[in-house]
């Protein structure tokens, strides 16, 4: 090769080298820088300083890409600077002490690195190539480094980042108090009271594991937070509101149980009631459980007689108005009505009965419990059907037994739970009761797999053992057509008197990773299925005694990986209120964990997991 050829080749190599360099710092890199700039601060008044100008001709492109000289600039100024012979920064058309929102530093970290970050303002950002010198220099100047496309670094001052995050949390996320902590010390930081702050929007339900806080909700749950706070700080006063100002009572279907509800005060109108309806001037409403019990049901005897039917003694509860009511409206002689709120009841009853009464059903509570035994005649019986004194471990005065009195307690459900067949058979012989709680004459069982599963076959055979005729249909409760067909099939020979909606689908995942399909697996059987049943049963409400939905505690408490299942059960609970408010039977039972039957029985590993998490199983 001649010397001229060698020179040409060298020139070509140099050119090639330049091309390579240009490729390396090609438009893609410039765009990346601009994207970083946009990320850093999409801020028209932004002032940018480029130190060193190491990108050559590309330096001009960046201001252009940021639309600097257009009608919509994304930066106010783009200035060039460099290092003078003394290693001091000099900036074109600016003082060397000026500060900038963004400082772009090419690979000049080998020269006076401590000087290079100085022009960055307090909130300023540094964008640079990722090099061995850049990383320690920026870190020691107090910057947090974010790597971009593995070769560009975006550096933010820790304080600026922290204050920006704090401002975001306070202004946008509504967090009342934001506390800072040094990263390296996170392990040793205890989340004390100052973290569990007391603002209504602060999430009070979290777990700290390692360095992270796990919170089960995306947005603050104000009601839950307030509940947690009330539990943690019982001193927080509850507001007492006179009920009469807020609500009135309504009875949707007189004579049927479970039909009491309250109406908001503004619902009450002064208009005339429609034809066939009367206005009831409600003077007093008692909301104690016992009063509701007394109003909605009665302690029934075999022949449905009550104390009133005996024409005997009634000891009314406290208020004068109630005693008046019994005397005036129910026709009871006033001398047979006593005040059960004080000890005068003993002398009164003794005087009216010569010896005292022969049977007490459900004795009085608290201090009056012993008082009520005072009017039991010798050889008489007291049967407790309430549970308060039993659960509260009330103290028994043994003197009562000196009069040969029998005290006993009775809870019907004990027959159901009894292992002794003798008692269990008593339960089975009760009208309306079976091994579950309902003993139908005709039953229709509907699910997708019919009788394929052994558990389904067992259910059918158990129902048949109680004398029921059972029809099994295959169908998907989330299909309106299938549900209509099933309801039609169940009403061909006799009207439908009850529905148990127990369908469920499970597919677990954290909400952020839950696919749409998984979401619907959890939602459809409960939400759409219930909705379909509700519509398919329109017109059957008169014969329907119950519409029972098996919800879960998860619907109220939540489970991190079961947002679909929780939402579906939450729907059932709300739906029961909604349907019940229309006077239609609707009950949603929030079951806890059930072992020995059902899903968990078939999935022992899930049961073990729940037990580990502190759930306790009902059998």
Which range, of 135-143, 256-264, 351-359, 501-509, touches ligand NAP by CB under 6 A?
Answer: 501-509
448 binds ligand NAP (CB under 6 A): yes
Pairing of strands 546-552, 587-591: parallel
In the complex with ligand NAP, the residue whose CB is nearer, 473 or 581, is 473
Which range, of 183-191, 316-324, 403-411, 595-603, touches ligand NAP by CB under 6 A?
Answer: 595-603
Rounded CA-CA distance 289/299 in Å is 14
Encoded one letter per residue, x for contact with ligand NAP by CB under 6 A and - for no contact, window 461-500 reads: ---------------xxx----------------------
Distance of CA 93 to the CA centre of its chain: 60
In the complex with ligand NAP, the residue whose CB is nearer, 229 or 448, is 448
Rounded CA-CA distance 169/158 in Å is 16
Q: Under the phi-then-psi rule, with left for phi > 0, alpha for psi from -120 to 50, and beta for the rest, what region is 282?
A: beta
Closest distance to ligand NAP from the beta carbon of 614 (Å): 15
In the complex with ligand NAP, the residue whose CB is nearer, 128 or 551, is 551
In the complex with ligand NAP, the residue whose CB is nearer, 503 or 537, is 503
Q: Is 472 helix (H, G, I), strand (E, B) or coil?
A: strand
* DSSP character at residue 509: B
Which residues in 369-398 contact ligand NAP (CB under 6 A)? none
Count CA atoms closer than 13 A to 283's CA, side-chain side.
Answer: 3
Q: How many residues bind ligand NAP (CB under 6 A)?
A: 19
Which residues in 299-328 contact ligand NAP (CB under 6 A)? none
Closest distance to ligand NAP from the beta carbon of 343 (Å): 47
**Member of 225, 496, 552, 588 binding ligand NAP (CB under 6 A):** 552
Closest distance to ligand NAP from the beta carbon of 618 (Å): 8
In the complex with ligand NAP, the residue whose CB is nearer, 498 or 598, is 598
Closest distance to ligand NAP from the beta carbon of 223 (Å): 22
In the complex with ligand NAP, the residue whose CB is nearer, 295 or 597, is 597
**Member of 599, 603, 604, 608 binding ligand NAP (CB under 6 A):** 599
Q: If 0-12 CB within 10 Å is exposed, 13-18 middle and 19+ buried, where does residue 445 land? A: middle
Structure tokens at 328: 């005036």
507 binds ligand NAP (CB under 6 A): no
**Member of 502, 509, 544, 560 binding ligand NAP (CB under 6 A):** 502
550 binds ligand NAP (CB under 6 A): yes
Rounded CA-CA distance 311/307 in Å is 7
> Taking a C-beta distance cutoff of 8 angstroms, is the pair 334, 327 a contact?
yes
Closest distance to ligand NAP from the beta carbon of 422 (Å): 29
Closest distance to ligand NAP from the beta carbon of 607 (Å): 8
In the complex with ligand NAP, the residue whose CB is nearer, 295 or 609, is 609
In the complex with ligand NAP, the residue whose CB is nearer, 369 or 593, is 593
In the complex with ligand NAP, the residue whose CB is nearer, 41 or 485, is 485
128 binds ligand NAP (CB under 6 A): no
566 binds ligand NAP (CB under 6 A): no
**Member of 54, 67, 583, 598 binding ligand NAP (CB under 6 A):** 598
SS3 readout for 305-361: CCCCCCCCCEEECCCHHHHHHHHHCCCCCHHHEEECCCCHHHHHHHHHHCCCEEEEE
Distance of CA 132 to the CA centre of its chain: 50
**Member of 54, 82, 248, 505 binding ligand NAP (CB under 6 A):** 505
Which range, of 204-212, 282-290, 423-431, 594-602, touches ligand NAP by CB under 6 A?
Answer: 594-602
504 binds ligand NAP (CB under 6 A): yes
> Taking a C-beta distance cutoff of 8 angstroms, is the pair 230, 236 a contact?
yes
Rounded CA-CA distance 363/229 in Å is 38
Rounded CA-CA distance 435/465 in Å is 10
DSSP 151-212: TEEEEEEHHHHHHHHHHHHHHTS--S------GGGGGG----TTTS---TTS---EEEETTE
Closest distance to ligand NAP from the beta carbon of 376 (Å): 44
Closest distance to ligand NAP from the beta carbon of 32 (Å): 50
Count CA atoms closer than 13 A to 553's CA, side-chain side.
Answer: 10
> Taking a C-beta distance cutoff of 8 angstroms, is the pair 12, 1 a contact?
no
> In Å, how far are 59, 104, 329, 387 from 128, measured between CA atoms?
13, 6, 92, 75
Which residues in 519-548 contact ligand NAP (CB under 6 A)? 525
Q: Which residue is nearest to ligand NAP, using beta carbons?
A: 598
* DSSP character at residue 60: G
Closest distance to ligand NAP from the beta carbon of 496 (Å): 17
Rounded CA-CA distance 160/180 in Å is 12
Closest distance to ligand NAP from the beta carbon of 448 (Å): 3
Helix, strand, coil share of the chain (percent; to 5): 40, 20, 40
Backbone angles phi, psi at 184, to 5 degrees: -65, -15
Interaction site with ligand NAP (CB under 6 A): 447-449, 476-478, 502-505, 525, 550, 552, 591, 593-594, 598-600
């Amino acid at each position: 090769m001649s010397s001229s050829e060698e020179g040409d080749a060298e020139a070509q190599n140099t050119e090639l080298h330049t091309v390579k360099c240009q490729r390396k710092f090609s438009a893609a890199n410039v765009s990346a820088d601009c994207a970083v700039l946009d990320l850093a601060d999409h801020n028209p008044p932004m002032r940018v300083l480029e130190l060193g100008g190491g990108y050559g001709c590309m330096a001009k492109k960046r201001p252009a890409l940021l639309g600097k000289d257009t009608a919509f600039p994304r930066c106010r100024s783009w200035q060039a600077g460099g290092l003078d012979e003394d290693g001091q920064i000099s900036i074109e058309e600016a003082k060397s002490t000026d500060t900038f929102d963004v400082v772009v530093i090419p690979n000049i970290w080998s020269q006076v690195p401590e000087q290079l970050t100085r022009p960055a303002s307090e909130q300023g950002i540094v964008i640079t190539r990722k090099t061995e010198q850049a990383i320690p220099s920026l870190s020691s100047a107090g910057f947090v480094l974010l790597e971009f496309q593995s070769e560009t670094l975006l550096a933010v001052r820790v304080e600026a980042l922290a204050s920006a995050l704090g401002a975001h949390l306070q202004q946008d996320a509504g967090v009342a108090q934001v506390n800072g902590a040094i990263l390296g010390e996170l392990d040793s930081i205890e989340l004390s009271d100052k973290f569990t702050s007391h603002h209504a929007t602060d999430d009070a339900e979290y777990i700290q594991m390692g360095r992270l806080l796990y919170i089960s909700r995306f947005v603050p749950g104000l009601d839950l937070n307030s509940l947690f706070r009330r539990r943690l700080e019982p001193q927080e006063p509850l507001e007492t509101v006179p009920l009469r100002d807020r609500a009135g009572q309504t009875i949707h279907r007189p004579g049927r149980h479970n039909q009491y509800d309250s109406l908001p005060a503004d619902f009450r109108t002064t208009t005339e009631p429609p034809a066939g309806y009367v206005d009831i001037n409600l003077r007093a409403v008692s909301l104690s459980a016992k009063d509701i019990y007394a109003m909605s049901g009665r302690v029934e005897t075999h022949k449905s007689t009550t104390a009133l039917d005996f024409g005997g003694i009634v000891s009314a509860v406290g208020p004068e108005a109630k005693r008046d009511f019994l005397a005036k409206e129910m026709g009871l002689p006033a001398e047979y009505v006593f005040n059960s709120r004080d000890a005068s009841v003993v002398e009164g009853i003794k005087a009216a009965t010569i010896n005292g009464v022969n049977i007490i059903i459900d004795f009085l509570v608290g201090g009056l419990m012993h008082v009520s035994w005072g009017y039991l005649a010798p050889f008489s019986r007291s049967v407790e059907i309430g549970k308060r004194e039993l659960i509260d471990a009330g103290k028994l005065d043994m003197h009562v037994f000196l009069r040969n009195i029998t005290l006993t307690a009775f809870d019907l459900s004990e027959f159901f739970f009894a292992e002794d067949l003798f008692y269990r058979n008593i339960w089975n012989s009760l009208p309306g009761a079976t091994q579950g709680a309902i003993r139908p004459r005709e039953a229709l069982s509907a699910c997708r797999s019919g009788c394929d599963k052994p558990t389904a076959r067992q259910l059918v055979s158990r129902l048949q053992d109680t004398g029921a005729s059972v029809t099994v249909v295959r169908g998907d409760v989330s299909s309106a057509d299938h549900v209509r067909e099933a309801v039609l099939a169940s009403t061909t020979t006799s009207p439908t008197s009850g529905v148990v909606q127990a369908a469920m689908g499970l597919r677990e995942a954290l909400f952020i990773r839950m696919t749409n399909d998984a979401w619907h697996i959890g939602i459809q059987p409960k939400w759409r299925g219930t909705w379909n049943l509700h519509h398919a049963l329109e017109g059957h409400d008169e014969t329907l005694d119950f519409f029972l939905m098996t919800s879960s505690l998860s619907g109220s408490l939540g489970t991190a990986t079961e947002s679909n299942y929780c939402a579906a059960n939450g729907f059932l609970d709300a739906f029961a209120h909604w349907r019940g408010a229309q006077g239609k039977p609707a009950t949603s039972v929030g079951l806890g964990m059930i072992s020995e039957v059902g899903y968990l029985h078939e999935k022992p590993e899930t049961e073990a997991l729940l037990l580990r998490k502190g759930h306790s199983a009902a059998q």
